[in-house]
Amino acid sequence: MSSTLHFPSQETIKNYLETQHPNTKNDSYLKEKKVLEAAAKKFADKTFANRDNAPIGIQMGITLMLYDIGYKQTKIMTTIKCLSVALKDCAEGKSFVTSK
C-alpha cells in the first residue's frame, strides 16, 4: 500500500459522495447546502504525503471549507466526521455499490 493518499477528480468525488457512500448519499441537507460539491472542489486531485496523518488533515480541510461556505448546523462535528470518513474512503477507492 502506498504511503500517500491521493484524491480523484472533483467530478469523481462529487459523484461518489452523492451516489455511493452511505454517510453522504442520502443526506439531502448536505446536497441542498452544496456541502458535497464544496468538499469535492476542496479535495480534488490533492495528495496527502503521509497516509497515516491524512484523517486529521481531511478533518481540518473540511472544517475550513465549512467555515468558508458559511455552514451553520448544530451537529457540525458529526458532519465533519461523516465527510472525512467518506472522503478518505473515496481516495482509497472503496466501493459501496452492491450488485443484484
Residue % of the chain over a pLDDT of 70: 95
- Whether residue 8 has pLDDT greater than 90: yes
pTM: 0.89
- Whether residue 85 has pLDDT greater than 90: yes
What is residue 45's predicted lDDT score, i.e. its pLDDT?
Answer: 97
Residue ranges covered by each domain of the chain: 5-92
Mean pLDDT value across the chain: 90
- Cα(15)–Cα(95) distance, rounded to whole angstroms? 12
Pairing of strands 5-6, 47-48: antiparallel
What is residue 98's predicted lDDT score, i.e. its pLDDT?
Answer: 57
What would the pLDDT profile of 21-68 be if each residue is shown by its tens digit? 999 998 888 888 899 999 999 999 999 999 888 999 999 999 999 999
- Asked whether the beta carbons of 5 and 91 are under 8 A apart, the reply is yes
Q: Please name the residues in contact with 15: beta carbons below 8 A apart, sequence gap of 6 or more.
A: none
